[in-house]
Every structure is written in structure tokens, then in C-alpha cells.
Amino acid sequence: MRNLIDITDLSVSEIDELIATACDIIAHPEKYQDACRRKKLATLFFEPSTRTRLSFEAAMLELGGSVLGFSEASSSSASKGESVSDTVRVVGCYADIIAMRHPKEGAPMVAAMHSPVPIINAGDGGHNHPTQTLTDLLTIHREKGRFDYLTVGLCGDLKFGRTVHSLIHALSRYTGIHFVLISPEELRLPTYLIHDVLDKKQLSYEETQDLEAVMPKLDILYMTRVQRERFFNEADYIRLKDSYILTLDKLKHAKQDLCILHPLPRVNEIATSVDADPRACYFKQAQNGKYIRMALILKLLEVESHAY
């Protein structure tokens, strides 16, 4: 039985397979409409979500399966003190696969140790968000046609932004990636990622606070929200929240084929006037999340291709 806790649980060739399946789903959705008939997905969300939970649920419904679950800890027996391990042991009696979001780093890994069915990490604290990374990779594949030789700007809250952490792990396995880490001093990428991933793998990267200075060299600009829910001090959040606001003016010196990504939700780090720019790919990115999650569900449930 396979789980997806960390993006590196999948090999590069398995990610290629998932992307190929997602592209086939986009081209031929009717082939997949009964692939998960009689299968059930449980979405256990101990933290708020719009895209991840609803795209997982839409994914399972479009595969002909059913969904059950909860969208906040307060409506589950976690509010009475039930442990994550007991919760998944029980939900595993009702569902064939579980997608879980939890505020505590490592909670989905604990769940995977006790669950009778596959666990998908749908975001754990400020740690990882592997299915967002699969979404990002599918979007990069569709927009740029490659993963190699890209200059990737990661901008905003690199400290608490779990989507950035997972994306760095994923892209670190390709050739010729140059990371441009754009953040205020207080929100720099954690040192464990700098030392254990970037330095250890001898990857090319630079750190800066100046988005406009690096804009002309970027192939991808990955904007992120300052993660208010991870701050201990509201005053620090207010001081840092508007560190970067992408506007059309700031894009004047960007490449014509720049791909602007954002995992969403957006607060105000991208002006809405940017949405109409052909380089803005973040709503396409959100749509891609459903297709890649369909491909992931098929893989983890080991649904054979003759079933669709």
C-alpha cells in the first residue's frame, strides 16, 4: 500500500506517469468516469481549505466514486480529544483512501503508520504540501513543456510556505534549475532546506529581497501569501504582509513567456489587474489540481487501466 506524505515518496518517473495520466484525463475525461465506481474518498481537514479539499472531492466524483469527511476539526471527534491515529483507523473502515490536512507537521505521517488505507498529505502545518506540488508540476509542464533549465523565482513567505518547501524538493531533481529566493529577511527559506537540499545537492540558487531586480531573468515566478496562521505575533504579520505586491508595472521588465504561479488563496500579493495578463497562470493552476489529484487517486488505489 502506498501513501503520499512527501513529494519525494514519488520517483521522477512516477511523477512523469501521473502527469501523463492527468493529460489523458484532460483530453478524454469520459474514459475515466467510472474508474473508481464503489470507491470512497474521505477528506479529513483539520484546517481550512477551498482548493485542496474541493478539488479532491471533485476528482473522486469525476472518477465515479463517492466522498465523505469533515472540513474542520471542531465537527469531528478530534474536538473531544481523539488522536489522529485512532481517527484514521476508524475512517479506514468506511473509506478506501484518505486525504488529510492537519496544522501539525508530521500528522499525516503518523496517520499513515496506523491507517489501513492510503493516506495523502493535503498539507501539514508549515511543512509540506505534496499534492500542491503535483499541481504546480502539471502546470509547469503544460505552460513551459519542460522541467529542466528553468530560472524559478519563489517570492514571499518562504519560511512558513509549505508549497514552496515541497516544490523545491521536487524541482531539485531536475537538471539546470536556478532558484531565486525572494523574501524579507524574517521569512527566508528555513536553513534545513538550504543546507539539506540546496547546498547538499549543490543546486544553483541566490537569495534577495528585491523582486524587481531579478524579474527579467525569471522563467517562473511563484508568488506566495504571508501565512498569517503560522505567526506567533500579529504585529509581525502586519509588518510583513505587504512585502511583495505584484503589479503590471512590476512586470514591465519580465519575460514575455514568464509563467506566474500562486498556490492561492491570494490576499493582496498579486494585484487583480494582473489576472488578465496572459502570463498569469494561477487560475489554470487551480484547475490542474483536480486533474492531477484524479491521477493520484487512480495510482494509490491501484486502479488498473483496463478499468477505464
**From the DSSP assignment, how many helices (H) and strands (E) are in the chain?**
10, 9
Q: How far is the CB of 52 from ligand CP (least distance, A)?
A: 3
Note if 252 is an active site residue. no
Q: Binding to ligand CP by residue 52, rule CB under 6 A?
A: yes
Nearest Cα to Cα of residue 236 among 142, 147, 159, 144: 159
In whole angstroms, how close is the CB of 109 to ligand CP at the nearest point? 18
Task: In angstroms, give the least distance from the CB of 286 to ligand CP.
Answer: 8
Euclidean distance between CA atoms 212 and 230, whole angstroms? 27
Location of C-alpha cell 498556490: 263
Q: Would you call 80 a catalytic residue per the annotation?
A: yes
Report if residue 264 touches ligand CP, rule: CB under 6 A: yes
Nearer to ligand CP, 65 or 263 (CB): 263
DSSP per position, 115-170: -SS-EEEEEETTTB-HHHHHHHHHHHHHHHS-SSS-EEEEES-TTT-HHHHHHHHH
Concerning whether 293 is annotated as a catalytic residue, the answer is no
Interface with ligand CP includes 216 (CB under 6 A)?
Answer: no
Contact criterion met (CB below 8 Å) for 265 and 50: yes
| Position 130 contacts ligand CP (CB under 6 A) | no
Element (H, E) at 305: none
Place of cell 493582496: 268
By CB under 6 A, which span of 22-30, 46-54, 64-72, 294-302 interacts with ligand CP? 46-54
**For this structure, is 101 an active site residue?**
yes
Clarify whether 51 is annotated catalytic. yes
Contact 254, 180 (CB under 8 A): no
Our finding on whether 265 is near ligand CP (CB under 6 A) is yes
128 touches ligand CP by CB under 6 A? no
Shortest spacing between CB 267 and ligand CP, in angstroms: 12
Active site members? 51-52, 80, 101, 129
Binding site for ligand CP (CB under 6 A): 49-52, 123, 132, 263-265
